[in-house]
Amino acid sequence: MKRRSFLKCSAIPLSSAPLFALGQEGEGNPPNFKDRIYKALKGGKKRGESVEAFFMRLKGLGYDGVESGNANEADLYRAAAQKTGIRVHGLVNGGHWSVRLSDPNPEVRLKGRKNLEKAIMNSHLLGGSSVLLVPGKVGGVNETHDHVWNRSIMEVRAVIPLAAKLGIRVLIETVWNGFCESPEKFRDYIDEFDSPWVGAYFDIGNMQKFAPAEEWIRTLGSRTVKLDVKDWGKKNGFCRLGEGDVDWDKVRVALKEIEFSGWATREGSDKSLEDTSQLIDNLLIGV
């Protein structure tokens, strides 16, 4: 099924979490995303800490999940998720920087595709719903923007049947890799797949460098399935949430406009995990 047809006829929301009624915030009141945005971390498990203890610690800090996990311990993760309610909502595709889907060497691209397939299977084993993918890097005459566009699309399309079979979405993230550095280009890249199994993983802080985060959110619309939570400023680079140039009130307004509901994962660090949880509540969820 094509993405556009899926959007028209499916009763299943495209985000990994159910859509809730958006409520009736009054004019001038910032939107509240309680029970519509789910807080997660990339990692955070201490060395020697059991999965169940890790999940219990996160639950006590107000988190809903993580975006990491050991597929070799999938049974432990699933058992801990069932007991605590904390879940592995997805995985980051390992090695997508060094073994790129845009590499000039077709053998390297094939290896990159195999890595992506493995990540899809591992996410499924851990109970996730997605794999985050950086599709390539613009790196010279042998790896131009057009190369990244065409080569990565070809490789990602090859894994869509597996993604559909296992119910795992391939979510593309734009980073400082010279690729799709405007909201319109990123939108058109996602649309090129025309598949419900490929969407956008929007990083709020990464792309603030190129255009305000709220512009990206509005342009991408329902293509955005999950969020990476970061802040960035011209003077201080990546920083503690709330101390960069991201206008969080405008971000929340834009997310309300596109009726976003789903996972928001902190990438980076603040003063503590408690600090991060509170900052996400205050800045992004609005509670």
Task: Please write the tens of the pLDDT for every residue from 192-243.
Answer: 999 999 999 999 999 999 999 999 999 999 999 999 999 999 999 999 999 9
- Say if residue 16's pLDDT is above 50: no
Report the pLDDT value the prediction gives residue 30, as an integer from 0 to 100.
73
Q: Which residues, in sequence order, are CB contacts of 192 under 8 Å at separation 6+?
A: 149, 153
Sketch the domain layout of the chain as residue ranges.
Answer: 32-285
Res 29: pLDDT: 72
CATH topology of domain 32-285: TIM Barrel (3.20.20)
Tens-place pLDDT, residues 64-115: 999 999 999 999 999 999 999 999 999 999 899 899 999 999 999 999 999 9
Q: What is residue 235's predicted lDDT score, i.e. its pLDDT?
A: 96
Task: Please say whether the beta carbons of 7 and 196 come within 8 A.
Answer: yes
Query: Which residues partner with 228 through β-bridges?
Result: 203, 265
Q: What is the mean pLDDT of the chain?
A: 92
3-state DSSP assignment of residue 243 = coil
266 and 227 Cβ atoms separated by less than 8 Å: no
Q: Which residue has the higher pLDDT, 108 or 31?
A: 108
Instruction: Give pTM, 2 decimals.
Output: 0.90
Burial code (b: 16+ CB inside 10 Å, e: under 16) for 168-197 equals bbbbbbbbebbbbbebeebbebbeebebbb
